[in-house]
Structure 1
């Protein structure tokens, strides 16, 4: 083994040990900061007499009563179901259509103006039209969420496919890979970092539209119950709904981050090695 190779191996091992030693600290920081904020909120609001900012103790009691028992099956599960189904539809359609638009230039020229036009209209602004034409059913909310969250991942996929390194494509041609093998082995891996970046934006948009769609005429769902509490001057119930939305948003982002780290382990590892060099 040459001296250069030995030095590279030692440096790589040192970076891996250093990163591993920092993980407990980062994990403790990630968990500790929210706990400290909750503790500060608890003691800061303990003697609050403001009707719009009740003590955290009362909010947690209302949270337990509402969301852990009474409305778990009737409101939380339908909201999560609509969110997951719509987001998966948006990801599937966005990736497939994005690959087609990225590879087939005539199709891109035809559909790109339509995509740019529709994506510039906020889905929230279209919700009243959807409700007026299709009613208040779950199908309308799923459609609205999927439509709103489609465009970030669609555009990211198109950009990722079109930005594929020409050297990779030339290598695929040298090895005489078929179109399907080139797509599976070159285009998708090369564009996957941008696809996941768009999917993260789509996740956030889907969560926002899920809440908004339930606030417009829906009888069930987390957004509907939170809006009902606000209209009924049930401030504690409103804060309990806001707290639940924050928890669900954090959990959704956590699950996405874990999936992204596992799917892009090769890419994240290469990025860390490049930055360390």
Structure 2
């Protein structure tokens, strides 16, 4: 009982302190652009009604999920191929480094030319930015497979798809999940940016509309909602990671005790 309680204190301690500092620092604010946190909290339920959740929040989450899933599948597949084939890696590495250095927001106008201004554009933008941490971490994870383990699998005749499923991917999975974690935060950022370009709904679109109409408390509620969304997604990701990589965390905890 004491362990979970301490973890809860560590998780919630700093956010509670920061909210308390924000509340106290902004309590007497008369600045139009820096309203008191109390005003923002009171405005929140008036702004984010059921209709707005369905019309703005849900579409944003669905775009994020689609783009993130596309990036995860493509990143793991391409990363496994590049990481396991030396010649493929030698050919692709310069191109991958070049493309990785291009900031995804810069590609939004280009993607709009080919994908239009609908949901497809936004999903492609999210996938384009999220794929790189997944791909590069997968490459490094596949390259770091224990040679003894790989040779043992070869000796027992475990080759092809069986080797990939039982040796390569499990060994590379900690690195893959590290890339997926990085991609999640990038995906949220790109979700907002893509919705600021020629959009008619979504969190990014709504926040910009509040800013343009000088509904400053409403704009701050959107920013607050984005932070809460990122926190919830991070917690869900950690739960999935702990379940999938239970064996890895168990080995790491055991090594710390010894």
Give TM class, smaller chain: over 0.9
Distance 1:113 1:33 in 2: 42
Distance 1:203 1:83 in 2: 9
Partner of 1:72: 53
Partner of 2:210: 229
- Report the 3-state secondary structure (helix = DSSP H, G, I; strand = E; otherwise coil) of the residue aligned with 2:45: helix
After TM superposition, the structure 1 = structure 2 runs for residues 82-121 of structure 1, keeping only pairs within 5 Å, are 82-121=63-102
**RMSD of aligned C-alpha atoms?**
1.6
Distance 1:170 1:134 in 2: 46
Distance 1:29 1:261 in 2: 18
Distance 1:82 1:251 in 2: 17
Q: Tell me the CA shift for residue 61 of structure 1.
A: 2.5
Partner of 1:5: none
- Report the 3-state secondary structure (helix = DSSP H, G, I; strand = E; otherwise coil) of the residue aligned with 2:150: helix
Partner of 1:209: 190
Picking from 155, 178, 182, the partner of 1:174 is 155
- Report the 3-state secondary structure (helix = DSSP H, G, I; strand = E; otherwise coil) of the residue aligned with 2:32: coil
Unaligned runs of 5+ in 1: 1-19
Q: Tell me the CA shift for residue 46 of structure 1.
A: 3.0
Unaligned runs of 5+ in 2: none
Out of 31-40 and 127-136, give the one that drifted further: 31-40
Question: Deviation per CA, 1:139-182, whole angstroms, max 9, x where unpaired?
Answer: 00000100110011001111111110100011112222132221
Distance 1:173 1:40 in 2: 59
After TM superposition, the structure 1 = structure 2 runs for residues 236-251 of structure 1, keeping only pairs within 5 Å, are 236-251=217-232
Partner of 2:133: 152
Distance 2:85 2:159 in 1: 16
Partner of 1:257: 238
Q: Tell me the CA shift for residue 135 of structure 1.
A: 2.2
Picking from 139, 145, 155, the partner of 1:164 is 145
